[in-house]
């Protein structure tokens, strides 16, 4: 037990240490300051700008930035759709895989272009190496960089700057952040035993005289951007529980740190942009504490195990169902909370086998979307909650609410409300439709309270652009592929547009001189109030679902029925 909690503690300590280091680096990259990669990357970036007809000095308005995001994502999605559809005619297909059904191709493209990477297929039996690397691997870089660019644009607007240029931010996000770290990480994974090959499936004879087919491929490069970019889509169906994606404790640590590094560092990056490191650390510790509480709830639930099984066996043992023994209950619990907190979606154990406290924590992360949050956009969600807290506290004391010296008015509250309200729409409405037709649509394999969690989790994962799932669900059907596409698209692009409009609105407001009555947002009191507002809004919106799903299942298990 002690060793498990020690592993969790050491992982979190590393996160705390690297946050200011990476946060400073991200600030230098997106403030246009000098970095060590300038001699190598500047010529490459100039070539990209020249070919794309982009001028680095051209700042975009919110509408232009949003159109650039939508247009670039649409074009990339169309290109990748045809690459997947015609994969049997393209190279790097040593196993001769043919085309999947049109709706699984559509779902896959929509999922990967939005940084969701929800998979209703097994990669090793569905997609060629070319499809995995040149198509999906390409989208892993661009979708992650898109979210990072939007997050940086939002921070710029919030701190009174112009939003910047999407194409410049996208390029810098790839060349200065995602690509160099992915290369170093992939080399480390190769050294730890993750394969990187274009050879086909390995056929071996077993000791019993049978034949075994061992899938392999260019996994290491795919795996690293999957984790660093909060993508989460696995090269294999078992994702990071597969020994070729995550062979040992060292690879598990590298992948876990890669998963959380950028979302955590972006809070510090905001502090540099706002010239208020104190507030950045307060927000960091607020998120960190909520995160640690959820990890603790999940870890204790897995450590205590299933009471029905333990009572039957007459002994106390952790819940090891659905877990890789090389990681155990502790690393699986930490990873489950981390992957849903960061909107990564990668798994090193099966979430469908988690005890009710674990399902509660993972769903809670998917509902809030700001406990670290997705690549770039998660930081923006955090500040949306902050703006709402400023508004509510301003009403309490009878003052016009202000944030960073700028007034919060009707337009900002409307846009902030759109960001937060679109998620319940993308989750609750399709969930209600699916649950209304349990035989024809829902695909539930575990009837009862757990079945409700299976359905809601799938749409929460889609709407939050997370991608993980309670994989007992039969989700590779026309209904699930198309309905989750709706949740994925609405959950991705409507908030992005609203965030950019909100950022532009804040950037245009004239600074208001600070007075003795100005509410300070960089205080422990205000940060505590913000955490309460976040928890209340999350509970009020989604508590009925949590009560009908993991809470009810937990009471049922403890009652012995």
Alpha carbon of residue 474 to chain centroid: 23
Which residues are within 8 A (CB) of 398 and not within 5 positions of it... i.e. 6 or more apart?
A: none
Q: Are 365 and 383 in contact (CB under 8 A)?
A: no
Query: Can you give the residue ranges of every domain in the chain?
Result: 2-558
- In 192-276, which residue ranges form alpha helices assigned H by DSSP? 219-228, 249-273
**Burial class of 425 by CB neighbour count within 10 A (0 to 12, 13 to 18, 19+):** middle
CA atoms within 13 A on the CB side of 292: 15
pLDDT tens for the chain, residues 1 to 561? 678 889 999 999 999 999 999 999 999 999 999 999 999 999 999 999 998 888 877 889 999 999 999 999 999 999 999 999 999 999 999 888 888 899 999 999 999 999 999 999 999 999 999 999 999 999 999 999 999 999 999 999 999 999 999 999 999 999 999 999 999 999 999 999 999 999 988 999 888 888 998 999 999 999 999 999 999 999 999 999 999 999 999 999 999 999 999 999 999 999 999 999 999 999 999 999 999 999 999 999 999 988 888 877 777 889 988 898 889 899 999 999 999 999 999 999 999 999 999 999 999 999 999 899 888 888 899 999 999 999 888 877 777 788 888 888 889 999 999 999 999 999 999 999 999 887 667 788 888 899 999 999 999 999 999 999 988 888 888 999 999 999 999 999 999 999 999 999 999 888 877 776 677 888 898 999 999 999 888 878 899 999 999 999 999 888 876
3-state secondary structure 466-480: CCCCCCCCCCCCHHH
Burial group, residue 296, by CB count within 10 angstroms (0-12, 13-18, 19+): middle
Burial class (CB in 10 A: 0-12, 13-18, 19+), 311: exposed
Structure tokens at 318: 């952790």
User: What pLDDT, on the 0 to 100 scale, is given for residue 260?
Assistant: 96
Nearest to 301 by CA among 360, 366, 343, 363: 360
Cβ neighbour number for residue 332 with a 10 Å cutoff: 30
Q: What is the DSSP letter of 513?
A: P
The CA-based dihedral angle spanning residues 277, 282, 288, 294, taken in that order and rounded to the nearest 10 degrees: -160
Joined together, the tokens standing for residue 213 give 């087919």
In angstroms, rounded to a whole number, what is the distance separating the alpha carbons of residues 533 and 516?
25
Q: Return the SS3 of 202.
A: strand
Backbone φ and ψ of 205, nearest 5°? -95, 130
CB atoms within 10 A of CB 193: 14
Q: Would you state the pLDDT for residue 1?
A: 65
Nearest to 286 by CA among 220, 385, 363, 367: 385
In terms of DSSP bridges, do strands 202-205 and 402-403 run parallel, antiparallel, or are they unpaired?
A: unpaired
What are the DSSP calls for 17-61, one per residue? HHHHHHHHHHHHHHTT---TTHHHHHHHHHHHHHHHT--TT----
> How is 203-247 classified by DSSP, letter by letter?
EEE-TTS-EEEE---BHHHHHHHHHHTT----SSTTGGGSTTT--
End-to-end CA separation in angstroms for the chain: 28
Q: What does 152-187 look like in DSSP terms, one character per residue?
A: HHHHHHHTT-----HHHHHHHIIIIIIHHHHHHHHH
């Amino acid at each position: 037990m002690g060793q498990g909690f020690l592993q969790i503690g050491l992982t979190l300590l590393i996160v705390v240490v690297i946050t200011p280091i990476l946060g400073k680096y991200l600030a230098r990259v997106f403030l246009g300051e000098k970095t060590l990669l300038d001699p190598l990357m500047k010529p490459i970036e100039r070539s990209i700008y020249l070919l794309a007809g982009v001028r680095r000095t051209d700042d975009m308005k919110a509408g232009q930035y949003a159109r650039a995001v939508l247009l670039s994502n649409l074009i990339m999605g169309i290109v990748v759709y045809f690459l997947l559809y015609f994969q049997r005619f393209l190279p790097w297909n040593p196993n001769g895989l043919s085309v999947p059904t049109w709706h699984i191709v559509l779902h896959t493209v929509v999922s990967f272009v939005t940084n969701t990477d929800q998979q209703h297929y097994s990669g090793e039996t569905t997609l060629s190496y070319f499809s995995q690397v040149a198509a999906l691997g390409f989208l892993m870089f661009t979708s992650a960089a898109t979210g990072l660019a939007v997050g940086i644009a939002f921070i710029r607007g919030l701190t009174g700057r112009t939003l910047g240029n999407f194409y410049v931010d996208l390029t810098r996000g790839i060349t200065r952040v995602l690509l160099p770290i992915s290369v170093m990480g992939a080399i480390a994974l190769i050294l730890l035993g993750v394969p990187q090959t274009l050879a086909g499936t390995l056929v071996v004879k077993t000791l019993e005289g049978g034949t075994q087919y061992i899938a392999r491929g260019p996994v290491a490069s795919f795996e690293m951007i999957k984790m660093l970019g909060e993508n989460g889509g696995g090269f294999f169906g078992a994702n990071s529980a597969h020994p070729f994606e995550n062979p040992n404790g060292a690879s598990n640590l590298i992948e876990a740190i890669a998963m959380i590094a950028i979302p955590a560092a972006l809070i510090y990056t905001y502090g540099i942009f706002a010239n208020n490191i104190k507030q950045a650390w307060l927000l960091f510790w607020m998120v960190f504490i909520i995160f640690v509480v959820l990890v603790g709830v999940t870890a204790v639930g897995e450590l205590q195990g299933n009471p029905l099984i333990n009572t039957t066996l007459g002994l106390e043992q952790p819940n090891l169902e659905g877990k890789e023994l090389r990681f155990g209950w502790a690393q699986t619990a930490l990873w489950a909370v981390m992957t849903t907190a960061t909107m990564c979606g990668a798994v090193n154990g099966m979430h469908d086998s988690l005890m009710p406290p674990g399902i509660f924590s993972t769903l809670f992360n998917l509902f809030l979307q700001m406990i670290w949050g997705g690549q770039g956009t998660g930081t923006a969600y955090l500040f949306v909650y902050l703006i709402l807290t400023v508004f509510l506290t301003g009403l309490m004391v009878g003052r016009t609410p202000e944030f960073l010296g700028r007034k919060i008015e009707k337009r900002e509250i409307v846009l902030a409300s759109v960001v937060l309200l679109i998620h319940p729409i993308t989750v609750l409405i399709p969930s209600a439709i699916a649950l209304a037709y349990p035989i024809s649509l829902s695909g539930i394999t575990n009837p009862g309270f757990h079945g409700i969690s299976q359905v809601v989790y799938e749409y929460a994962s889609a709407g939050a652009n997370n991608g993980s799932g309670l994989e007992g669900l039969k989700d590779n059907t026309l209904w699930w592929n198309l309905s989750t596409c709706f949740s994925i698209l609405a959950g991705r692009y409507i908030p992005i547009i609203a965030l950019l409009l909100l950022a532009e609105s804040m950037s245009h407001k004239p600074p208001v001189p600070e007075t003795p009555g100005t509410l300070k947002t960089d205080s422990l009191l205000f940060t505590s109030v913000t955490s309460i507002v976040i928890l209340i809004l999350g509970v009020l919106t989604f508590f009925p679902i949590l009560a009908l799903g993991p809470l009810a299942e937990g009471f049922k298990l403890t009652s012995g029925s």
